[in-house]
Amino acid sequence: MPVVFAISLLLFVYCVVDLVTTPAALVRTLPKPLWFVVLVPPVVGPLAWLFGGRPARGTPRPSAPPRPAPGRGAPDDDDDFLRELRRRADDQRRRARDPRDDAS
pLDDT of residue 39: 73
Are the CB atoms for 44 and 71 separated by under 8 Å? no
Q: Flag residues of the chain having pLDDT under 70.
A: 58-76, 99-104
Cα Rg, the chain, nearest whole Å = 27
99 φ, ψ (degrees, to nearest 5):
-65, -20
Spatial contact of 13 and 45, defined as CB atoms under 8 Å apart: no
pLDDT for the residue 88: 92
Q: What is the pLDDT of residues 26-54, one digit of tens each?
A: 888 788 888 777 777 777 888 887 788 87
- pLDDT in the model for residue 18: 85
> Rounded CA gap, 28 and 9, in Å?
23
As a whole number of angstroms, the distance between CA 62 and CA 66 comes to 12
